[in-house]
């Protein structure tokens, strides 16, 4: 999905640069609405639908902006879902560790220290991985 989102961003930028090139070359700005993309993929938009007004409004948007918006929306949703999964995983991990520590006889006031040590070790490992990539 990340690749698809990045491609949509590139397509939006490329379309804008294509329009700028036409404007600088011929002196005329050629509009490129979403309707032209729609016709290329699906044919002419159907008439008489209940959503005709909404459809016409969406089809009148500049295609470059629609592509950029879709790309940003996809990238945002991917990164937010990854962050939510990471937070959930950490929460479940902490709960499991608390249960294991309690089962082993650690005192409740010692458990946060154990968790901090584990978090510090994980942060150090992630920092080492980032340094390896650079």
For 12-71, how does the pLDDT look when each residue is reduced to its tens digit (9 = 90+)? Answer: 999 999 999 999 999 989 899 988 888 888 877 656 566 678 878 888 899 999 999 999
Q: What is the pTM of this model?
A: 0.66
Q: How far apart are CA 37 and CA 42, in angstroms?
A: 8
The residue ranges of every structural domain in the chain are 2-133
CA torsion 10-11-12-16 (nearest 10°) is: 100
Distance CA 9, CA 64 (A): 9
Predicted confidence (pLDDT) per residue in 4-18, tens digit: 999 999 999 999 999
Tell which residue, 129, 133, 132, 121, has the closest CA to residue 93. Answer: 121
Compute the distance between CA of residue 56 and CA of residue 29 in angstroms, rounded to an integer.
Answer: 22
């Amino acid at each position: 999905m990340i690749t698809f989102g990045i491609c949509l961003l590139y397509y939006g930028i490329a379309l804008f640069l294509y329009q700028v090139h036409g404007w600088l070359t011929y002196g005329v700005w050629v509009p490129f609405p979403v309707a032209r993309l729609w016709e290329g993929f699906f044919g002419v938009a159907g008439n008489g639908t209940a959503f005709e007004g909404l459809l016409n409004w969406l089809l009148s948007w500049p295609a470059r902006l629609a592509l950029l918006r879709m790309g940003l929306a996809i990238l945002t949703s991917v990164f937010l879902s990854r962050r939510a999964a990471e937070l959930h995983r950490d929460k479940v991990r902490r709960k499991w560790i608390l249960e294991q520590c309690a089962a082993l006889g650690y005192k409740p006031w010692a458990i946060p220290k154990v968790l901090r040590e584990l978090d510090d070790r994980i942060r150090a490992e992630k920092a080492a991985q980032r340094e390896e990539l650079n």
